[in-house]
């Protein structure tokens, strides 16, 4: 049976890319002098199908959920923090809340599976699938049906975002670096001790414990390691699957994505394994301080825009990188050409 997430994605617009490249060649600067900013402008032009791309209209969605594996002591914080942070997002006090306001970006928070059994805070979308995933070191994190619900929650968020220039997904969930690391181990063929990191602040013993729990889980689910859907269901989180679903939906709709840090990158690699045509639609914001992130970026041939030692999640790193995209677009559109400026030759230098 064919699922929606395996259906065709749009292809980047070759004409928009050619027009943007031609414009870059006419701007009053040496070729390539603006480095990655030039590449960004051309990439966005191809993804948006126009010579003059834009990053003005930005939609940010933070997906939140709890993880049963937290019971194994793999996080420095208790699970109650997930629900508390959802309330903090709703109240506008989280880092991503501040960043979204500063950017003039639309921010939506979606609860796809917190432990909270009551009403979600006002302003938060209630898309709860269950009260957290199961402990994947003992059993599958979620059923196939729950995986479908989580992927669909991501697609629904993209639909609600409406017509924008750029989509950003963020995560919140105590123990989600453990789930992301387990998925990365499967998809990259790496050992847990190579990729496990401190997450929210584990010490060396805590990181070793996390790696041991992940190793148990990989052994338990070894028979399913080559099937991306099964790996995501058995080892993932509701918010990670929702992010993967949102990326696939963006690629199918022709919407550029700016990928956040370690959790979002693990979701991105899952999305690519589910539908390889997603990859051209992904731009990468930053290099996380989590040790496994460099391996994920390398696997996707990704060149992140910034490296500030960030490891917060919430889409914060991606939001911080948005001004660079906006400046790339402004330079691309606003600089004079050699002809319009009356500058001789192809370069003033």
Task: List, by residue number, the catalytic residues.
Answer: 314
CB distance 196 to 292 below 8 Å: yes
Q: What whole-number distance in Å separates Cα of residue 243 and Cα of residue 63?
A: 7
**DSSP 3-state percent helix, strand, coil across the chain (nearest 5):** 50, 10, 35
Question: Smallest Cα–Cα separation from 37: which of 338, 343, 303?
Answer: 303
Question: What token pair was written down for 261?
Answer: 């840090």
- Laid out side by side, the sheet with 282-284 consists of 124-126, 106-113, 58-65, 166-172, 257-259, 282-284
Q: What whole-number distance in Å separates Cα of residue 235 and Cα of residue 122?
A: 31
Q: What whole-number distance in Å separates Cα of residue 178 and Cα of residue 184?
A: 10
Q: What whole-number distance in Å separates Cα of residue 203 and Cα of residue 190?
A: 22
CB distance 318 to 105 below 8 Å: no
Question: Smallest Cα–Cα separation from 74: which of 179, 185, 191?
Answer: 179
CB distance 286 to 317 below 8 Å: yes
**Around Cβ 279, how many Cβ atoms within 10 Å?**
17
Q: What whole-number distance in Å separates Cα of residue 74 and Cα of residue 199?
A: 9
CB distance 286 to 307 below 8 Å: yes
Question: Smallest Cα–Cα separation from 277: which of 6, 48, 40?
Answer: 6
CB distance 257 to 283 below 8 Å: yes
């Amino acid at each position: 049976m064919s699922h929606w997430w395996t259906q065709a994605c749009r292809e980047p617009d070759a004409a928009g890319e050619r027009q943007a490249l031609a414009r870059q060649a006419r701007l009053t600067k040496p070729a390539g002098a603006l480095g990655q900013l030039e590449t960004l402008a051309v990439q966005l032009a191809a993804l948006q199908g126009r010579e003059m791309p834009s990053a003005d209209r930005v939609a940010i969605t933070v997906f939140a959920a709890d993880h049963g594996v937290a019971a194994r002591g793999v996080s420095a914080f208790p699970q109650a923090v997930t629900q508390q942070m959802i309330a903090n997002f709703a109240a506008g006090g989280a880092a991503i809340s501040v960043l979204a306001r500063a950017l003039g970006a639309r921010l939506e928070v979606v609860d796809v599976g917190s432990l909270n059994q009551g009403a979600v805070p006002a302003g938060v979308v209630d898309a709860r699938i269950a009260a957290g995933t199961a402990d994947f070191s003992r059993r599958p994190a979620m059923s196939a049906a729950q995986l479908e619900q989580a992927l669909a929650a991501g697609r629904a968020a993209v639909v609600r975002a409406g017509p924008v220039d750029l989509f950003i997904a963020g995560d919140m969930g105590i123990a989600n670096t453990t789930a992301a690391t387990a998925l990365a181990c499967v998809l990259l063929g790496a050992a847990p001790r190579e990729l496990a990191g401190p997450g929210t602040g584990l010490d060396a013993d805590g990181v070793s414990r996390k790696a041991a729990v992940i190793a148990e889980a990989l052994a338990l689910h070894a028979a399913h390691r080559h099937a991306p859907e099964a790996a995501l269901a058995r080892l993932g989180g509701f918010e990670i699957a929702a992010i993967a679903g949102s990326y696939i939906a963006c690629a199918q709709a022709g919407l550029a994505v700016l990928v956040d840090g370690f959790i979002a990158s693990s979701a991105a690699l899952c999305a690519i394994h589910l539908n390889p045509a997603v990859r051209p639609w992904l731009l990468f914001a930053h290099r996380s301080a989590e040790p496994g992130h460099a391996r994920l970026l390398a696997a996707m041939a990704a060149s992140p825009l910034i490296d500030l030692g960030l490891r917060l999640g919430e889409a914060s790193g991606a939001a911080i990188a948005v001004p660079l995209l906006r400046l790339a677009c402004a330079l691309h559109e606003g600089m004079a050409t050699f002809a319009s400026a009356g500058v001789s030759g192809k370069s003033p230098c």
